[in-house]
Amino acid sequence: MTRMKIVLPAMGEGVIEATINKWLVSKGSIVKEDDPLVEVATDKVDSEVPSPGSGVIAEILAAEGTIAKVGEVIALIDSDAETQPDDVIKVENEVKRIRDTISAVREEKIAETRVARELKSRTPSGKFLSPLVRNIAAQEGISHQELDNLKGTGMDGRITRDDILNFIEVRKRKSEVVKKPEITEMAGKPDMSVTSDASDEIIEMDRVRKLIAEHMVMSKRISPHVTSFIDADVTRIVQWRNRIKDSFLAREGQKLTLTPIFIDAVAGALYEYPMLNISVDGDRIIKKKRINIGMATALPDGNLIVPVIKNANEKNLTGLARSVNDLAERARNNKLKPDEITGGTFTVTNFGSYNNLSGTPIINQPQVAILGTGAVRKMPAVIETPEGDVIAIRHIMILSLSYDHRVIDGALAGKFLNKVKDLLENYPVDTLQQ
């Protein structure tokens, strides 16, 4: 008998630790390869850690409720001698890979910090700032922009200690002038504390709901949200889908909903307008090469999760339908893997699944935009024909795009929305397999 180490595996992008929620085995339990051993929770998702081999649980090293680091040994398994060498090598290699990854990330962060410090030694216009001046500015909350506008009396216009102290004193006097009205205004605001009586039911938020709440508040605080709307005529798509859905299910073994069609159109629009497929890091814009589209999915307990379809633009409609159905099903059954909810570059949320006409979705940070799809309704619409305009009953839906106004202006958002509309209204149903 040989002993196999069970380590906490990598749990997704940026995740370095997890909470041990519940052990599914105990000391002495017999397990087979891929059997679930323990339920763990991160700030992104709850998941199970499978056994890397067969054997008997010899020791459990991480107690329930404790926090374990990625790569840390959390249990030991006594395995068969015949299978042990390969398993041990596999585990040791995985531990080495995880440690190397953590080391690389750490070195990258150190390098980024060094660059950031170098950049902060100068203002946006290139004005040099001494360490003393930078320290004083940091303590007093003085921005680089304010320092850029400050006239220095030192050599070559450098800002001296006296320059910044005088600036602080002037700013302090100005703030005292406007402080009194602010106090008076605050005094008149109503008390926003919530009261309850014996007839009210008190419901404690679960861990996931707390995380969602924090994420939403953080997103609104970071990004100045703007939402634009547009109507899309999806009559051709709806009629085509109703006509071929049964044959599609028989041929592909997959249900064909409207969601993969919407995601296909969004992926096409992002390919043409890649500046919506970005993230913001301080004063830098990170333009993502991959188009990874998250789809907001409601869970049975009322919470929300966003599984991600990786490289959505490289999949055909059948592939998208398979991904949508698989991820949605496993999301509802808490079977998603950590890397299946990370790495998204854009999100789609479907208000129409609950017959809502539209909504103003909140951006899923660190993304910069999110598209909401409303309910498809039969409505009278004006149709242009060679013989003139006519009124006809069409299937209409509202698309709503919330975007980060720091980096996306109305013109770009409008072009993107129009592109999604165009791709939906001219979806190539005639060329698809019937």
- Per the annotation, the verdict on 405 as an active-site residue is yes
Do residues 374 and 397 touch, judged by C-beta distance below 8 A? yes
5: phi > 0 → left, psi -120 to 50 → alpha, else beta; which? Answer: beta
Return d(Cα 292, Cα 307) in angstroms, integer: 10
What sign does the dihedral 271-273-279-283 (CA atoms) show?
A: positive
Residue type, 303: N
Residues with Cβ within 8 Å of residue 235, at least 6 apart in sequence = 394, 395
Q: How many residues are there in the chain?
A: 434
Distance CA 40, CA 212 (A): 18
Q: Which two tokens stand for residue 212?
A: 């969602």
How far is residue 434's CA from residue 425's CA, in Å, rounded to a whole number? Answer: 18
Return the amino acid letter for 60: I
Token pair listed for 33: 């390869």
From the list 144, 409, 422, 430, the catalytic residue is 409
What the block records as the tokens of 65 is: 């409720």
Q: How many Cβ atoms from other residues are within 10 Å of residue 408's Cβ? A: 21
Whether 409 is catalytic is yes
Phi, then psi, of 229 in degrees rounded to 5? -130, 150
Which entry of 215, 326, 405, 422 is annotated as an active-site residue? Answer: 405
CA distance 160 to 162: 5
Radius of gyration of the chain (CA): 28
Rounded to 5 degrees, what are φ and ψ at 296? -60, 130
**Helices 235-252 & 317-332, crossing angle to 10 degrees?**
80
Catalytic residue IDs: 405, 409
